[in-house]
């Protein structure tokens, strides 16, 4: 069981993150294991040198940037507020639900297009050593938003994505969004401290093994049914709808603000969902980047998985 101090600490992380920042790092580290060597080389050239070529180390940047004066315009890019009524009705419509200033779907599409041009600049030799911040930012945003769109409450408008839905977890008063950002991932990994922001942790290595061995209820190749960077709105909307569906199927249908979610079975039931969504995010991100670079020129899923 988590101590109150640990739970309060993870709440602080959750207040500025979609998935806690360390979970974002780990999704990036997972994705790195599926990257083609050529993709890794290209991305290393795009990223600023302080990340040492690692999208995992860069994956949490977008949360901090969104809370600066310079980056506040990007704050709403981290979610799409579905105008529905979970758990009774779940639906997500890009035209209806993406706000005027943008959302996670449009952000993935826009930053993918920028990143595509940046990759061509690297290939032509006009971009070297992370010198173009627009390009580095695009890569960091794409990396981050693939994580965001997989978090169910980032595709739900109810209670501002669960931020105003009060609950108790491990004896601590918190909100439902924080439960999904950090408490359930920490429960799944059986840890009482944040994950590394420098290298992959054992729990996420375990998820990688399960992906490679096809040990999820959904076969990993199914996660890539839409993975073409040429149609980013279509694919990102499909992913957001999958996340949104969980708000009816579990997030709001099983939750109670009269019990402790750490011990009433809610957290335990949420663990497989978190494991699935994190794994989807990592494999989809790697596949997307491989295809952008041109390292993977066809849709043979198994070749992507064994890289």
**What's the pLDDT at 243?**
98
Tens digit of each residue's pLDDT (9 = 90 or more) over 4-28: 333 333 333 334 456 999 999 999 9
The domain in which residue 145 lies consists of 4-305
Cα–Cα distance measured from residue 271 to residue 188, given in angstroms and rounded to the nearest whole number: 5
Is the separation of the CB atoms in 30 and 200 below 8 Å? yes
Cα–Cα distance measured from residue 176 to residue 157, given in angstroms and rounded to the nearest whole number: 13
How confident is the prediction for the chain on average, in pLDDT? Answer: 92
Cα–Cα distance measured from residue 272 to residue 184, given in angstroms and rounded to the nearest whole number: 10
What's the average model confidence in pLDDT over 270-283? 98
Q: Where are the alpha helices (DSSP H) in 15-131?
A: 21-32, 37-46, 55-58, 61-66, 94-97, 104-124
Q: Give CB contacts under 8 A, 24+ apart, made by 130-137.
A: 130/45, 130/46, 130/47, 130/48, 130/49, 130/51, 132/46, 133/48, 135/46, 136/46, 136/47, 136/48, 136/58, 137/65, 137/111
Tens digit of each residue's pLDDT (9 = 90 or more) over 22-75: 999 999 999 999 999 999 999 999 999 999 999 999 999 999 999 999 999 999
pLDDT at 202 over 90: yes
Cα–Cα distance measured from residue 80 to residue 72, given in angstroms and rounded to the nearest whole number: 16
> Which one, of 76, 78, 81, 92, lies nearest residue 18 by Cα?
78
> Which one, of 295, 297, 255, lies nearest residue 152 by Cα?
255
**What's the pLDDT at 307?**
40
pLDDT at 102 over 70: yes
**What's the pLDDT at 18?**
67
Q: Crossing angle for the helix pair 266-293 and 37-46, nearest 10 degrees? A: 90
Query: How many C-beta atoms surround the C-beta of residue 293 within 10 A?
Result: 22
**What's the pLDDT at 296?**
61
pLDDT at 99 over 80: yes
Cα–Cα distance measured from residue 28 to residue 51, given in angstroms and rounded to the nearest whole number: 12
What's the average model confidence in pLDDT over 212-227? 96
What's the average model confidence in pLDDT over 169-192? 97
CATH of the domain at 85: 1.10.575.10
How far is it between the farthest Cα atoms of the chain?
Answer: 60
pLDDT at 237 over 90: yes
Secondary structure element (H or E) that encloses residue 169, with its range: strand 166-169
Tens digit of each residue's pLDDT (9 = 90 or more) over 173-182: 999 999 999 9
Residue 68's contacts (CB-CB under 8 Å, 6 or more residues apart) are none
What's the average model confidence in pLDDT over 290-304? 64
> Which one, of 16, 12, 203, 234, lies nearest residue 106 by Cα?
234
**What's the pLDDT at 111?**
98
Cα–Cα distance measured from residue 103 to residue 97, given in angstroms and rounded to the nearest whole number: 9
Cα–Cα distance measured from residue 99 to residue 182, given in angstroms and rounded to the nearest whole number: 26
The total of structural domains in the chain comes to: 1
């Amino acid at each position: 069981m988590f101590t109150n101090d640990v739970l309060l600490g993870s709440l602080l992380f959750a207040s500025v993150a979609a998935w806690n920042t360390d979970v974002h790092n780990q999704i990036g580290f997972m994705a790195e294991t599926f990257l083609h060597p050529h993709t890794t080389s290209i991305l290393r050239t795009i990223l600023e040198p302080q990340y040492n070529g690692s999208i995992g180390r860069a994956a949490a940047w977008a949360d901090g940037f969104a809370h600066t004066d310079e980056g506040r315009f990007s704050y709403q890019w981290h979610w799409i507020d579905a105008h529905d009524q979970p758990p009774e009705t779940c639906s997500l419509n890009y035209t209806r639900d993406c706000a005027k200033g943008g959302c996670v779907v449009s952000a993935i599409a826009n930053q993918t297009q920028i990143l595509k041009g940046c990759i061509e600049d690297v290939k032509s030799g006009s971009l070297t050593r992370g010198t173009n911040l627009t390009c580095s930012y695009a890569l960091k945003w794409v990396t981050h938003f693939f994580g965001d769109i997989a978090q169910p409450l980032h595709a739900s408008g109810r209670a501002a994505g669960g931020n105003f839905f009060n609950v108790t977890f491990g004896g601590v008063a918190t909100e439902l969004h924080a439960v999904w950002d950090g408490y359930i991932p920490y429960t799944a990994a059986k840890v009482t401290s944040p994950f590394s922001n420098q290298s992959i942790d054992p729990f996420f290595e375990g998820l990688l093994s399960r992906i490679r061995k096809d040990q999820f209820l959904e076969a990993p190749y199914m996660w890539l049914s839409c993975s073409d960077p040429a149609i980013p709105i279509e694919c990102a909307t499909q992913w957001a709808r999958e996340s949104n569906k969980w708000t009816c199927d579990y997030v709001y249908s099983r939750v109670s603000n009269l019990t402790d979610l750490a011990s009433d079975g809610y957290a335990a039931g949420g663990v497989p969902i978190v494991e699935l969504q994190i794994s989807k995010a990592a494999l989809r991100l790697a596949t997307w980047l491989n295809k952008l670079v041109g390292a993977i020129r066809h849709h043979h899923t198994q070749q992507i998985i064994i890289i």
